[in-house]
């Protein structure tokens, strides 16, 4: 993520663009100095032919110029290279000619030589002047800022994307869910519409608001929507664009941006990835360029007149790294949280994106549940994948199946066609997946199994069991977490019990189970020994959440032991469940092997049909 900073100062004018134009100019100059274009064609001949023409009295005119002999025979023009021939003059004087005078017109012109001074000016001074002029001009543009787009010469353009979009079509209707965010931003829209209403009472509106949330939750989208709703220009720039530029340019660009924006006010400035410049200044690895840029931003934010209707929106997914000065009142003092959408939110986002495609009646609830944990951008992607799939299958509309299949594509990768898996391997994979499903189904608190498949995926998964929570989950109890861990170990347990082997297929399960068990102890306070003591600190909450231990090495060892114990117990439980349901395991695996994919209902039916007693514990 971290962009390379502290770049060598580049000379902005020395680029291909400039080179091209200078070369073109030189070419034009050249063509004026040697105007050879547009002359009648002159045929090349050898000297002997020339002499033979002269001797036969056919030549009208001879001109010797720059060691080349031009001569005309009738209407035709010829040329030949002058040979050191002392008798040439004699010959020409004596020769006959079709001319009236009976003589050949015969002249020699002096080589037209430029004076050395002129040559020098044309070839050295002029290009240098042109070059210098272009440079000056570019530099001036750079100072004024390239905002407003590049001209025909993109000299001195910093590469930062700053342009004002005048007619933003996005509105709040395009942003599904995120109702709290919209509520807060509506005030800003209202302010942009009618600043006087607020200033009349002396109310100060926020100059800036910070949109915080994981990637793809629609931060950019909602910022555009504010501009669209308020019918004001939308300036958009990415924070990283400020710092990857030439040294000293970041601050200039900020100055520029605000100057431009103030002219166009009311308007909105949107700074994406503000953490790229707004990083806390006291962090170990200082970066002068970034600090200068940040300071300039702070100055500008303090300086501008908010009553004109200039609002700055910034987006970040790492709010904790931001410099405190940025968050002070009068700067980005409002924080708008954009969370990952919940079930209702996902359904709403689905609807928004389904509007753009042809689709049949979609089971929104089913797709919504299957996309748990997805961001708005993921869902947009899923709808697009579904459309692609429908096209591939020559369908007229997208249906629920396309969407569900593309959910899997986005989550697990494309189905891998033609992967050769031996029957024995297939058998083990089937038992493994049925093992997960069996353990999940036999624990009353586990989510029902949605689908089991042994179709390999390009992501490397050889098969998988898709579990979908019935409703939206916000809390998970300790018991549920333990059950989930048991379900994760179910695959390996099935391999052991049913196939008497262990395979590498469980690596992903192991990773997930270990992580869950660890979180139970260190983050959720679910261990008996340490209780509610925080043992691990979560950083980057909106970017996957790195954690770091906050306890002593001794405690860390204890945690490891505890994690091992939890997983071991879960594994034993899973083994017990599978041993008790061997008959159902065999039956379900046989069906899975035949069909490759079975639904949760089909699986539960096999369970019921083959179970001697009711399934639930
Ligand atoms: P962010 O800036 O938070 O990373 P974006 O605003 O760039 O995310 O979102 C990327 C895309 O995801 C949007 O263009 C839109 O298609 C889709 N999207 C994200 N959130 C929503 C939402 N709440 N409603 C509709 N579409 C959304
Ligand atoms: Zn597994």
For residues 486 and 588, membership in a common domain is answered with yes
Inform me whether the pLDDT recorded for 572 exceeds 90.
Answer: yes
pLDDT band at 362 (very low <50, low <70, confident <90, very high): confident
Question: ∠92-96-102 over CA atoms, to 5°?
Answer: 110
The mean predicted confidence, pLDDT, of the chain is 80
Q: What is the CATH number of the domain that holds 385?
A: 1.10.8.60
Centre of ligand 2 from the C-alpha of residue 459, in Å: 14
Interval 577-591 mean pLDDT: 93
Instruction: Choose between 207 and 459: higher pLDDT.
Output: 207
Q: Which atom of ligand 1 is nearest to the CA of 215?
A: 4
Interval 246-267 mean pLDDT: 79
Ligand 1 pocket residue status of 228, Cβ below 6 Å: no
CA dihedral of 541, 542, 546, 549, whole degrees rounded to 10: 0
Ligand 1 pocket residue status of 218, Cβ below 6 Å: yes
- Give me the residue label for tokens 């928004």: 352
Could you write out the DSSP letters of every residue in 46-61?
A: -HHHHHHHHHTT-EEE
Question: Is 582 annotated as belonging to a binding site?
Answer: no
pLDDT band at 2 (very low <50, low <70, confident <90, very high): very low
Ligand 1 pocket residue status of 467, Cβ below 6 Å: no
Which residues are CB-contacts of 462 (< 8 A; sequence separation ≥ 6)? Answer: 421, 425, 429, 454, 456, 505
Centre of ligand 1 from the C-alpha of residue 79, in Å: 73
Element (DSSP H or E) covering residue 492: helix 478-499
| Residue 114 covered by a domain | no
3-class state of residue 475 by DSSP: coil
Interval 577-604 mean pLDDT: 89
* Cα(607)–Cα(441) distance, integer angstroms: 9
Name which residue sits closest to atom 11 of ligand 1, judged by CA. 377
Q: Which atom of ligand 1 is nearest to the CA of 223?
A: 6
pLDDT for res 471: 58
pLDDT band at 248 (very low <50, low <70, confident <90, very high): low
Give Rg (Cα) of the chain.
Answer: 39
Interval 526-532 mean pLDDT: 84
pLDDT for res 574: 95
37-50 pLDDT, tens digit per residue, is 445 678 888 888 88
For residues 174 and 188, membership in a common domain is answered with yes
Ligand nearest to the CA of 466: 2
For residues 167 and 257, membership in a common domain is answered with yes
3-class state of residue 332 by DSSP: coil
Ligand nearest to the CA of 384: 1
pLDDT band at 348 (very low <50, low <70, confident <90, very high): very high
| Residue 116 covered by a domain | no
For residues 308 and 358, membership in a common domain is answered with no
pLDDT for res 179: 85
Question: Is 150 annotated as belonging to a binding site?
Answer: no
pLDDT band at 565 (very low <50, low <70, confident <90, very high): very high
For residues 473 and 499, membership in a common domain is answered with yes
Inform me whether the pLDDT recorded for 511 exceeds 60.
Answer: yes
* Cα(513)–Cα(384) distance, integer angstroms: 33
Ligand 1 pocket residue status of 217, Cβ below 6 Å: yes
Question: Is 219 annotated as belonging to a binding site?
Answer: yes
| Residue 26 covered by a domain | no
Contacts 24+ apart (CB under 8 A), 133-136: 134/13, 134/18, 134/21, 134/22, 135/13, 135/18
Ligand nearest to the CA of 436: 2
Ligand 1 pocket residue status of 219, Cβ below 6 Å: yes
Which of 376, 381, 384 for mutating ligand 1's site (highest number of atoms within 8 Å of CB)?
Answer: 376
pLDDT for res 299: 87
Name which residue sits closest to atom 15 of ligand 1, judged by CA. 377
* Cα(106)–Cα(92) distance, integer angstroms: 8
Domain boundary among 319, 337, 355: 337
Q: What is the CATH number of the domain that holds 69?
A: 3.30.720.210
| Residue 563 covered by a domain | yes
Helix-helix angle 507-522:478-499, to 10 degrees: 150
* Cα(64)–Cα(111) distance, integer angstroms: 9
Question: ∠173-179-180 over CA atoms, to 5°?
Answer: 140
pLDDT for res 386: 92
8-33 pLDDT, tens digit per residue, is 334 445 566 667 777 788 777 766 66
The DSSP call for residue 9 is: P
For residues 323 and 365, membership in a common domain is answered with no
pLDDT for res 114: 67
Interval 596-601 mean pLDDT: 84
Residues acting as catalytic residues = 433
> Which residues on adjacent β-strands are paired with residue 469?
none
Name which residue sits closest to atom 14 of ligand 1, judged by CA. 221
Q: Which atom of ligand 1 is nearest to the CA of 315?
A: 2
Domain boundary among 316, 337, 358: 337
For residues 271 and 376, membership in a common domain is answered with no
Centre of ligand 1 from the C-alpha of residue 324, in Å: 27
Ligand 1 pocket residue status of 175, Cβ below 6 Å: yes
368-407 pLDDT, tens digit per residue, is 888 877 889 989 999 999 999 999 999 899 999 899 888 8
Question: Is 436 annotated as belonging to a binding site?
Answer: yes
Name which residue sits closest to atom 1 of ligand 1, judged by CA. 216
* Cα(485)–Cα(176) distance, integer angstroms: 34
For residues 509 and 398, membership in a common domain is answered with no
Domain boundary among 362, 385, 411: 411
Inform me whether the pLDDT recorded for 367 exceeds 60.
Answer: yes
Domain hosting 59: range is 42-109
| Residue 103 covered by a domain | yes
| Residue 68 covered by a domain | yes
Centre of ligand 1 from the C-alpha of residue 174, in Å: 9
398-441 pLDDT, tens digit per residue, is 999 899 888 888 776 666 666 667 788 889 999 999 999 999 98
* Cα(118)–Cα(486) distance, integer angstroms: 91
The answer to whether 158 and 146 are in contact (CB under 8 A) is: yes
Which residues are CB-contacts of 174 (< 8 A; sequence separation ≥ 6)? Answer: 221, 225, 352
* Cα(213)–Cα(322) distance, integer angstroms: 14
Q: What is the biggest distance separating any 2 CA atoms in the chain, rounded to whole angstroms?
A: 132
Which residues are CB-contacts of 422 (< 8 A; sequence separation ≥ 6)? Answer: none
The answer to whether 195 and 232 are in contact (CB under 8 A) is: no
For residues 548 and 477, membership in a common domain is answered with yes
Ligand 1 pocket residue status of 238, Cβ below 6 Å: no
Centre of ligand 2 from the C-alpha of residue 307, in Å: 60
Name which residue sits closest to atom 27 of ligand 1, judged by CA. 376
> Worst-scoring range by mean pLDDT, 129-133, 440-444, 456-460, 557-561?
456-460
For residues 318 and 436, membership in a common domain is answered with no
> Worst-scoring range by mean pLDDT, 193-197, 446-450, 486-490, 572-576?
446-450
Percentage of the chain modeled with pLDDT above 70: 82
For residues 230 and 326, membership in a common domain is answered with yes
Q: What is the CATH number of the domain that holds 225?
A: 3.40.50.300
The answer to whether 78 and 93 are in contact (CB under 8 A) is: no
Could you write out the DSSP letters of every residue in 430-473?
A: HHHHHHHHHHHHHSTTSPPEEEEE---BTTS---EEEE--SS--
Interval 326-335 mean pLDDT: 82
Which residues are CB-contacts of 558 (< 8 A; sequence separation ≥ 6)? Answer: 529, 530
198-240 pLDDT, tens digit per residue, is 778 877 777 888 998 888 889 999 999 998 988 888 888 888 7
For residues 593 and 449, membership in a common domain is answered with yes
Inform me whether the pLDDT recorded for 285 exceeds 60.
Answer: no
Inform me whether the pLDDT recorded for 156 exceeds 50.
Answer: no
Question: Is 474 annotated as belonging to a binding site?
Answer: no
Count of structural domains within the chain: 4
* Cα(428)–Cα(438) distance, integer angstroms: 15
| Residue 129 covered by a domain | no
Of the candidates 244, 251, 217, the residue with the CA atom closest to the CA atom of residue 349: 217
Tokens of 370: 């299957």
Centre of ligand 2 from the C-alpha of residue 367, in Å: 23
Ligand nearest to the CA of 219: 1
pTM value > 0.75: no
> Which residues on adjacent β-strands are paired with residue 313?
209, 270
Centre of ligand 2 from the C-alpha of residue 403, in Å: 24
70-84 pLDDT, tens digit per residue, is 888 888 888 888 888
pLDDT for res 453: 84
| Residue 16 covered by a domain | no
The answer to whether 13 and 156 are in contact (CB under 8 A) is: yes
């Amino acid at each position: 993520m971290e962009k390379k900073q502290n770049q060598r100062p580049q000379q902005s004018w020395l680029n291909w663009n400039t080179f091209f134009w200078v070369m073109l100019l030189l070419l034009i100059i050249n063509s004026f100095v040697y105007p050879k274009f547009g002359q009648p064609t002159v045929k090349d001949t050898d000297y002997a032919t020339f002499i033979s023409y002269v001797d036969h009295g056919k030549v009208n005119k001879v001109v010797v110029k720059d060691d080349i002999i031009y001569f005309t025979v009738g209407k035709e023009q010829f040329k030949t290279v002058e040979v050191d021939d002392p008798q040439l003059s004699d010959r020409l004087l004596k020769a006959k000619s079709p001319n009236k005078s009976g003589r050949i017109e015969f002249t020699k012109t002096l080589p037209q030589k430029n004076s050395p001074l002129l040559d020098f000016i044309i070839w050295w001074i002029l290009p240098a002047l042109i070059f210098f002029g272009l440079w000056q001009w570019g530099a001036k543009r750079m100072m004024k800022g390239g905002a407003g787009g590049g001209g025909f010469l993109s000299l001195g353009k910093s590469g930062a994307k700053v342009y004002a979009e005048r007619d933003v079509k996005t509105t709040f209707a395009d942003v599904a869910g995120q109702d709290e965010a919209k509520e807060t931003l509506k005030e800003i829209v209202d302010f942009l519409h009618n600043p006087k209403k607020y200033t009349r009472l002396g109310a100060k509106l926020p100059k800036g608001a910070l949109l915080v949330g994981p990637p793809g939750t629609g931060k950019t989208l909602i910022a555009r929507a504010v501009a669209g709703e308020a019918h004001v220009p939308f300036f958009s720039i990415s924070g990283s664009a400020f710092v990857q530029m030439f040294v000293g340019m970041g601050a200039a660009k900020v100055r520029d941006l605000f100057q431009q924006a103030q002219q166009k006010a009311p308007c909105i400035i949107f700074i994406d990835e503000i953490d790229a410049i707004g990083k806390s200044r006291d962090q170990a690895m200082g970066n002068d360029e970034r600090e200068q840029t940040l300071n300039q931003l702070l100055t500008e934010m303090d300086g501008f007149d908010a009553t004109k209707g200039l609002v700055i929106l910034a987006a970040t997914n790492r709010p904790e790294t931001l410099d405190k000065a940025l968050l002070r009142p009068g700067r980005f003092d409002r924080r708008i949280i954009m969370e990952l959408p919940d079930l209702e939110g996902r359904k709403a986002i689905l609807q928004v994106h389904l509007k753009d495609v042809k689709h049949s009646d979609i089971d929104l609830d089913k797709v919504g549940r299957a996309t748990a944990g997805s961001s708005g951008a993921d869902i947009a992607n899923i709808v697009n994948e579904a459309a692609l799939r429908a096209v591939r299958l020559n369908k007229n509309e997208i249906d629920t199946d396309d969407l569900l299949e593309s959910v899997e594509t986005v989550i697990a990768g494309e189905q891998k066609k033609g992967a050769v898996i031996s029957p024995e391997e297939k058998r083990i994979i089937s038992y493994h997946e049925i093992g997960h499903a069996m353990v999940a189904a036999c624990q009353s608190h586990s989510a029902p199994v949605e689908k089991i498949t042994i179709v390999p995926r390009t992501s490397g998964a050889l098969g998988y069991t898709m579990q979908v929570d019935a409703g939206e989950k916000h809390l998970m109890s300790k018991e549920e977490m333990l059950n989930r861990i048991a379900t994760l170990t179910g695959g390996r347990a099935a391999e052991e019990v049913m196939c008497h082997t262990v395979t590498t297929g469980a690596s992903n399960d192991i990773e997930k189970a270990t992580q869950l068990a660890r979180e139970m102890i260190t983050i959720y306070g679910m261990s008996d020994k340490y209780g509610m003591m925080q043992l691990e600190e979560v950083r980057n909450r909106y970017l996957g959440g790195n954690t770091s231990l906050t306890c002593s090495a001794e405690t860390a060892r204890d945690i490891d032991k505890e994690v091992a114990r939890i997983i071991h117990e879960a594994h034993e439980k899973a083994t017990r469940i599978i041993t008790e349901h061997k008959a159902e395991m065999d039956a379900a695996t046989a069906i899975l092997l035949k069909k490759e994919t079975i639904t949760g209902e089909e699986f539960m039916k096999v369970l019921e049909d083959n179970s001697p007693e009711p399934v639930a514990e």
